[in-house]
Every structure is written in structure tokens, then in C-alpha cells.
Chain A
Amino acid sequence: MGEGLVLAVVVLIVLRGMTKGVDVYGAFIQGGKRGMDAAGSLLPALCAMTMLLAVVNASGLSRVLTSLLAPLMRLMNLPEEVAPILLLRPLSGSGSMAALQEIFVQCGVDSRAGRIASVLVSASETIFYTMTVYLGATNIRKLPWVLPVSLASYMVGAAVCGAVIH
């Protein structure tokens, strides 16, 4: 179902552009350039995160963190392997991509851990970063409740993940 959807979305968008008189090809090229710039400027952050994960994994620190989180993971019916993702996702988009790749290599992309990790990354947001960017543009220093409510909702989403993926 999902694969058909991807193709259908692309076809629909191209058709819609044609009927609206959009320079479809030109739009694609211009949008693509912006995507390329964004991807290029992602590299330093990605590298900082792959480096971090290398040190944390090789030193055994990740095993310590994982065992600390184990009771929470069991409660939400999530496999232990995705603990790094659960921790990193609200903090860093690059970090969660790097950790997701790591899980694909370690556990397999179609394993339960691989699928749960995929959903955890795709169905959530870099909460701390979003808050910094949006509030940073204003003089509001603190907006009470937004962070706890966002983190609680994130945990609810994670628990739903554990419940629906078998």
C-alpha cells in the first residue's frame, strides 16, 4: 500500500502542476537545488553524530545507557536496541539518522527493531531544536508546559509504535 502511495503522490503532484500551468521541470530543478544545499550543509552535523555514536558504542557506554532505559523500554514493549534512537530523536535529526543506520546494520532493516526504529524516527520531531528555532526568533524566553507536553506526546507515540509493530 505504501509503495503505491509514493508513486501516486508523485504522479498526482506532477499532474496538478501541469493543470495549474506550473513550469514543472523548472520547479523540480530549483527545489532540488535547495535540497542539495541543505544536504551538503548536513555533513558536519552527520559526522559529529557518527563520531559520537562510534565512541559511545565502542566504549560500552551505550550498553550502560541501554540497561538504564530497559525498564521503560519493556513497559512500552520496545526492543532494547532502539534505546539510543528514543534518546537521540528529540535532540538531533542527524543523530537519529546515524543511529537508525546503525540499527539497520546491527539488527537488519526488516527486523522488529529496524521497523520500530524507522517509525520512531519518521513519526516524531526534533523537539528541542524546533523550540530553539521558533522561540529564538521572538523575545519569549520560556513558554511553560510546551516541552513536557511535547515529550509526553512523544512517549505516547513511542508506546503506540511498540503496540502496533509485531
Chain B
Amino acid sequence: MNKVWCVLVVAGGVAALLGDGGAGAAAQLLQSGQGAVELMLVLAGSMVLWSGVMEILNRTGDVERLGRLLARVLSPLFGGLKDGECWSAMGMNIAANVLGLGNAATPAGIRAAQLLEKQGEAGLRALAMLLVMNNSGLQLLPTTVMTLRSAAGAANPADVWLPGLLASGAATVCGLVLMGLINRGGLRRG
């Protein structure tokens, strides 16, 4: 991100200076801080609200239960793993991600990565699968985007829910199938 950001700021800045002496870009640049604060206020409300609601769910123990269930259901995808602790961390990571609990998902994912690292080849294959699942962005209730849409005056802020589920569902299936095929062929050959 560092490189991308630097290149784009310099390229954009130079192009603007050469174009109209930078007047338009300068005006927008000066307002961008205010824009960031306004955006943060919208996001902050949403984050406080949903972190609060999700903490209730977290304390019921249902997230762990869902994690254990997912670990059992998904076990064919992560074949050849014996360590039970890996399973609970992976299940928790996937469950928290799908429910949109970023606070719980990241520590569980990191713990899973560290445990899987010690499991040799099977562990690396499972970690690759876990990362692909994480990266496909499947989320049952996209609260942040709904909030941004609501703040922007959308007629129905939640109308993106079903298309979103279809898109991320397709991405998830695609990722699992591709990674499954690659894993079967042997990760190291890649």
C-alpha cells in the first residue's frame, strides 16, 4: 500500500500541477481532511453499534458453537489435520468473519496460522484454504455498507444484501474449488 499510495499521490500531484497549475487539486486536497472526519463519524456510529450488538452474541457462546459446527462441516476441505486446537481456531475465525465480528476474527485467524505452521505440509495446505476463505469476504450482514448507504439517503439501504451474498458466495465457492484442486495437486509444485 505504501508504494501504491506514494506513486499515485506524486503522479496525480505532478499531473495536476502541469495541467491547471494545481488549483483544482489543491482545493480538493484542502477539503479532504474534513471529508475523512465526516466519513469517520458515519463509520464510528456503525462500528460502536455493531461492536456492541455483536459483543452480546459473543458472550452467549454461540460464536464458539458455530465455529465448532463449521469446523466439522468443513473438515473435508482441510483434510489430513489432526490437531484439535487448530480446528477450534479455524472454526472460530471463519464463524467470526461470516458474522462480521472483526475483533474476534483476527486474533483467531492469527492463532490458527501459528498453529497450522507447525503442522507441516497438511498445515500449509489448510492455511492456504483458510486464507482463501477469509479473502472471499463472505459476510451475512454487511452493516458498514448498509450504514453508509443509509447516511447517503438510499431508498432502501439493505437492498444490496442479497446481491452481496450472491457475489461473495460465488467468490467463496470459486476460491474453495480452485484451492482444493491446487491442494490436491500438491501446494509446493505451484
Binding site for B on A (CB under 8 A): 1-3, 5-6, 9-10, 13-14, 16-17, 20, 22-24, 27-32, 34-36, 38-40, 42-43, 46-61, 91-92, 97-98, 100-101, 104-105, 109-110, 114-115, 118-125, 127-131, 133-135, 137-140, 143-146, 149-150, 152-154, 156-158, 160-161, 164-165
B170 within 8 A of A: yes
Cβ contacts A to B, 14 pairs, < 8 Å: A9-B141, A16-B62, A27-B52, A39-B47, A42-B44, A57-B28, A58-B12, A58-B16, A98-B36, A114-B154, A134-B127, A140-B127, A144-B187, A156-B174
Contact residues in B for A161 (Cβ distance below 8 Å): 163, 167
Contacts of B156 in A (CB 8 A): 2-3
A13 to B103, CA, bound (A): 17
Closest beta carbon of chain A to B124's beta carbon, Å: 7
**Do A140 and B124 touch (CB < 8 A)?**
yes
Checking A6, A35, A124 against B51 with a beta-carbon cut-off of 8 angstroms, the contacting residue is: A35
Check B74 for interface membership: any CB of A closer than 8 A: no
With both chains docked as a complex, state the minimum distance between the C-beta of B62 and any C-beta of chain A, in angstroms.
7
Q: Which of A60, A125, A127, A157 has the most CB of B within 10 A?
A: A157
Q: Identify B39's interface contact among A13, A50, A123, A125, CB under 8 A.
A: A50
Say if the beta carbon of B70 comes within 8 Å of chain A.
no
Q: How many residues of B contact A (CB 8 A)?
A: 97
Q: Which of A51, A123, A128, A135 has the most CB of B within 10 A?
A: A123
Q: Which residues of A contact B40 (CB under 8 A)?
A: 39-40, 42-43, 46
The verdict on B76 contacting chain A, using a C-beta distance below 8 Å, is no
Among residues of A, the one whose C-beta sits closest to the C-beta of B93 is A134
For A6, list chain B residues within 8 Å (CB): 141, 143, 146, 158
Report yes or no: B167 in contact with A149, Cβ–Cβ below 8 A: no
Q: In the bound complex, how far is the Cα of B133 from the Cα of A125, in angstroms? A: 10
Give A39's nearest chain B residue, CB to CB. Answer: B44
Q: In the complex, which of the residues A1, A61, A97, A156 contacts B171, with contact meaning CB atoms closer than 8 Å? A: A156
Most buried by A among B11, B47, B137: B137
> Roughly how many angstroms separate A131 CA and B127 CA in the complex, as a whole number?
11
Task: Knowing that A32-B49, A42-B44, A52-B8 touch, tell me 12 more A-B residue pairs with CB under 8 angstroms.
Answer: A31-B54, A31-B55, A32-B51, A32-B55, A39-B44, A53-B32, A54-B35, A97-B144, A121-B145, A150-B135, A156-B171, A160-B166
Given known contacts A118-B145, A130-B131, A137-B113, A28 and B163 CB-to-CB distance under 8 angstroms: no
The answer on a CB contact under 8 Å between A157 and B51 is no
Are B19 and A35 within 8 A (Cβ)? no
Would A110 and B155 count as touching, CB distance under 8 A? yes
Say whether B4 contacts A109, CB under 8 Å.
no
B52 CB contacts on chain A under 8 angstroms: 27-32, 35
